[in-house]
Amino acid sequence: MRVLVVDDEPALRESLRRGLAAGGWSVETAPDGEAGLEMVCGDDFDVVVLDIMMPRRSGYEVVREMRRGGIWTPVLMLTAKDGEYDEADAFDLGADDYLVKPFSFVVLEARLRALVRRGAPERPATFEAGDLVVDPAAREVRRGDTRISVTAREYAVLEYLIRNRNQVVSKAQIMRAVWDSAYDGDDNIVEVYVGYLRRKIDTPFGAHAIETVRGQGYRLVDSEVTPSGTAPRGR
């Protein structure tokens, strides 16, 4: 099994190289993000160990460029930063697992084996429904070539809908996914935010991406703007 270790700390990089090699891994190393990206783009690896805070290119930048380039090799990210937002950023950009330094080498190797067993199924860098595009890495929404400004909450509702494209999702499901457990308001807040989204991603373009399924919830479907400025109903 071939592993690429990308870390700017020479001692840690060498320790991982020796430990993994002793465990039967074929190990290549890179001292910074730029070198790591060049290596992963030019060779085949079963898994990548990637530090976040590095010179030239951060681990965030490397994994984002990998996924944008269609490289789906599993990535385990290492960082001295410990926080739920750092972890969320890593996963949003396309990482598969995450360890905070200092970590157990036994746990690291076990997680690498699990990632290799899981393989590298192709995962979209963006979510698309017709010409509506949601980019989790950039937190960006586009309709065709037009970038659409949305609030953080609007984005979260839209991302949940497009991740479940063509499926009916209830208000309760959206509430659980987007609002935290401390929120004790009415679930009609979901209807309010769906309305906000329609006014931004549908109405100005004559599109109908977000459908209301009476008595059940909402469904996001493919819907594109036609040359005349009106869009056909979702296919």
* Residue at 123: amino acid letter: R
The CATH-assigned architecture of domain 2-119 is 3-Layer(aba) Sandwich (3.40)
Q: CATH 3.40.50.2300: which residues of the chain? A: 2-119
- pLDDT tens track for 59-69: 888 988 888 77
Note if the pTM is more than 0.75.
Answer: no
Q: CATH 1.10.10.10: which residues of the chain? A: 127-220
Residue 142: Cβ-neighbour burial (10 angstroms; 0-12, 13-18, 19+): middle
Choose which CATH entry (3.40.50.300, 1.10.10.10, 1.20.272.10, 3.40.710.10) describes domain 127-220.
Answer: 1.10.10.10
What pLDDT score was predicted for residue 232? Answer: 44
Tell me if 143 sits within 8 A of 205, measured CB to CB: yes
- pLDDT tens track for 109-145: 999 998 888 776 666 667 889 999 998 767 789 998 8
pLDDT at position 148 over 90 = yes
Residues 6+ apart with CB under 8 A from 179: 189
pLDDT band at 86; cut points 50, 70, 90: low
Exposure class string for 102-134: b at 16+ Cβ within 10 A, else e: eeeeeebbebbeebbeeebeeeebebebbbbbb
Average pLDDT over residues 94-100: 83
What pLDDT score was predicted for residue 231? Answer: 45
pLDDT band at 87; cut points 50, 70, 90: low
Exposure class string for 152-179: b at 16+ Cβ within 10 A, else e: eebbbbbbbbbebbeeebebebbbeebb
Residue corresponding to tokens 């499926």: 167
φ and ψ at 182, to 5 degrees?
A: -75, -15
Distance CA 161, CA 110 (A): 34
